[in-house]
Each structure stands twice: as C-alpha cells, then as structure tokens.
Structure 1
Amino acid sequence: MRFKIAFMAAALMAGGLSAPAALASVASQDVTAAPTARQLELTRRYIDLTMTEQFEDSLRQMIMAQAEIDPGARGLPDEERRFIAELSADLTADMIPQMLEAMTPVYARIFTEAELEAVIAFYDSELGKSIIEKTMTVMPEAHAAAMTVMPQLMDKMAARMCQHYGCDAGELRAMQGAIRGEVPVAPRRK
C-alpha cells in the first residue's frame, strides 16, 4: 500500500510541475479583499497584452513536446500519442478564455491599481510588446530545456520516498522505473 501511495504522489508531482495552472498559484499571499471594478478592468487589459495570440501556439507546442517525452505515453503507437496530444492541445486551447477569466480576479486581488497601470504601460510600449513576443516564442524551447532535469528530480523524489517508507534497493529501482514510465521487468526465477 505504501508504494501505491508513493507512486500516486510521484505521478501527481510529475503532472503538477508542468501544468500551466500552477503558474496562477498565489499560495504565499493571503489576500481576501474582493478586487475593485477598476482592478478587474486593468487586469483584463494586462492579460490581453500578455496573453497574445502566440500564447495558444506556444501552449500547443509545449503540449505536443510533452507528449513526446511523457513516460505514460511511451508505450502508445505514434498515431495514438499524436491523437491524444492534439486532443489535449485542442481542448486546452478551447478553455483558454475561461482559464483567463478565472485568473482575472486572482491577479486583480494581488496587484494594486498602480501596479497594474505600470505593467500595462510597459507591455503596451514597443519594448514591452517585443518582450512578450519573444517570451511566447521562447516558451516551448525553454519548457523543453526545463523538462530535461525532470528525470533527475524524479530519481531524487523516488529516493526520498524510499527513505521515508523504508524501501530496499530493488524497490527503489522499481519506483524510479515506474516514475519514468518504464515497464517493470519480472525477476528471474531460479
């Protein structure tokens, strides 16, 4: 049972690290006041400026790239993996307006009107527009580069979980393999 819990935690961790929704988390700040109408208006403008048309393309590229390296999809035929990735990208793209609308009050509660006016002024400038365009262009490649450290992170996670649960070396290897999506090999019988 303890290993099932460990595997589930590892799977949640792997999925959670790459989820775009994680970027909207504001766990470190306790802001309970409702945003003003002006803060909401400014936040919508800020989101409009920073979530350009390129955002959907960048997101789609990241989802497709993630499907190529996803341990859970390795065993699927290329056509199936591509279908699932494209479906995920399509459904995510369809939900972007709702996601942005859901994020609006979160940002509006955190940023003051003065801060929102300042970021809007910046992102509405030529320099700000150039930075947003380059950010959207580099996002898929930066995401792919960041994902290269995931195997190391997952190995460390498995080691710490085994330390916590008291795994032996064989169980640690099995957990690391499961986290990477490798098919377990049955031990040889003598």
Structure 2
Amino acid sequence: MLKRMANGILVGAAALLVVGAASAQTPPTARQLELAQRYVAAMQMEKTVGATTDALLPAMMGTGVDKLPEAKRAEFMAIMRETTRDMVLALSARMAPILAETFTEKELEDVVAFYEGPSGRAFVEKAPLLTAKMAPIMRELAPQMQQQLLERLCKDGGCPPGAQAK
C-alpha cells in the first residue's frame, strides 16, 4: 500500500512538471536547456509537493494513519515527507533536459515568463493553501472512490487478494 502511494505521489509530481502541450524537438538548444532549468526552479516542486504530501497523505491512507499512536503517526509523516522531498529533488534535477527536448523555445519562454512573473509566483505560493483547502474534500471522497475502484476491479473476478466489494 505504501509503495503504491509513493509511486502515485511520484507520478503526480512528474505530471505537474510536464503538463501542457508538448512538441518534440531534439537536440535542445542551450537556450531551451537554460529556460527549462529556470522553469524547474520557478515551480518550487519541493515546497509544493511537500505541502501536498502533508495535506493529502492522510486522505490517501484512509483511517490507517489515524489508528497509529500520535508518535508513530508523526514519525510516519516525517518519513513520507522526507522521502518524497528526496525523490522530488532527484526528479527535478533530471527534468530540465527532458523539458528542453519536449518543449519549443517559445513554449519554454512563455511558461518561464508565467512562473517567474507575479501570477506564477502567486500560483506557486498559494498552491499549498489550495491543497490544504481541498484535503477535507479528498478525505470525504476517498472512501467512495476506494469502494468504486474495488467494485470495478471485482466485477470480473479481479479482486485483489483478501478484498471484496460491498
């Protein structure tokens, strides 16, 4: 379960970095690479993903985390936060060349202009607040989503071992 959650967080972080219309162009120019590096820096992925982890991890874990003693819950959250941060840093370090190959120079200029401008900085700054406001909704919807997922998996006899749909 934890491995699947960690993979989900990583996939989500990667999706945040590469979202948008992509057009292949190889090899990237020095300017594209420089713009891609600025884009990665402006996104402040460590901060954004860290706040997202804090806000959404309890909802993703369901009631399992709530059943842990306070000290263990805090330890678990700290480990998840640290592990996620390390993975985001590793991913961010490798993203610039991929972004530079994927986006045109004009697309990178536009994205960098947005994220380095006042609206982009506000977006990055407010993303953790937005995530925190959405966390209660995620906690509310998570059981329904889990049940629907189980029902769909079990429909054709593909239930995970030990799981049964209601």
State the TM-score, normalized to the length of structure 1. Answer: 0.64
Judged with a 3 Å threshold, the aligned counterparts in structure 2 of structure 1 residues 12 and 57 are, in CA distance, closer, same or farther, namely closer
Query: Match for residue 34 of structure 2?
Result: 41
Letter of the aligned partner of 1:66 in structure 2?
L
What is the alpha-carbon distance in structure 1 between the residues aligned to residue 155 and residue 12 of structure 2?
27
Deviation at 1:13, TM superposition (A): 10
Deviation at 1:159, TM superposition (A): 1.1
Asked whether 1:66 is paired with 2:63, we answer no
Query: For 2:155, what is the secondary structure of its paired residue?
Result: helix
Judged with a 3 Å threshold, the aligned counterparts in structure 2 of structure 1 residues 53 and 102 are, in CA distance, closer, same or farther, namely closer
1:10-89 pair list within 5 angstroms: 11=1, 15=5, 18-25=8-15, 31=24, 33-51=26-44, 54-55=47-48, 58-59=51-52, 61-62=54-55, 65-67=56-58, 70-71=61-62, 72-89=64-81
1:17-166 pair list within 5 angstroms: 18-25=8-15, 31=24, 33-51=26-44, 54-55=47-48, 58-59=51-52, 61-62=54-55, 65-67=56-58, 70-71=61-62, 72-165=64-157
What is the alpha-carbon distance in structure 2 between the residues aligned to residue 123 and residue 84 of structure 1?
33
Judged with a 3 Å threshold, the aligned counterparts in structure 2 of structure 1 residues 131 and 30 are, in CA distance, closer, same or farther, namely closer
Q: Quick check: 30-39 or 147-156, which moved more?
A: 30-39
Is the CA contact (8 Å cut-off) linking 2:46 and 2:85 kept in structure 1?
Answer: no
Judged with a 3 Å threshold, the aligned counterparts in structure 2 of structure 1 residues 126 and 22 are, in CA distance, closer, same or farther, namely closer
State the TM-score, normalized to the length of structure 2. Answer: 0.72
Please give the root-mean-square deviation of Cα atoms over the aligned residues, in Å. 3.7
What is the alpha-carbon distance in structure 2 between the residues aligned to residue 112 and residue 66 of structure 1?
35
What is the alpha-carbon distance in structure 2 between the residues aligned to residue 126 and residue 73 of structure 1?
38
Which structure has the larger Rg over C-alpha atoms? 1
Letter of the aligned partner of 1:24 in structure 2?
A
What is the alpha-carbon distance in structure 2 between the residues aligned to residue 38 and residue 93 of structure 1?
28
Is the CA contact (8 Å cut-off) linking 2:23 and 2:104 kept in structure 1?
Answer: no
What is the alpha-carbon distance in structure 1 between the residues aligned to residue 67 and residue 79 of structure 2?
18
Q: Quick check: 86-95 or 115-124, which moved more?
A: 86-95
Is the CA contact (8 Å cut-off) linking 1:67 and 1:81 kept in structure 2?
Answer: no
Is the CA contact (8 Å cut-off) linking 1:58 and 1:136 kept in structure 2?
Answer: yes
Is the CA contact (8 Å cut-off) linking 2:39 and 2:108 kept in structure 1?
Answer: yes
Give unmatched runs, 5+ long, in structure 1: 1-10, 178-190
Is the CA contact (8 Å cut-off) linking 1:42 and 1:117 kept in structure 2?
Answer: yes
Letter of the aligned partner of 2:109 in structure 1?
E
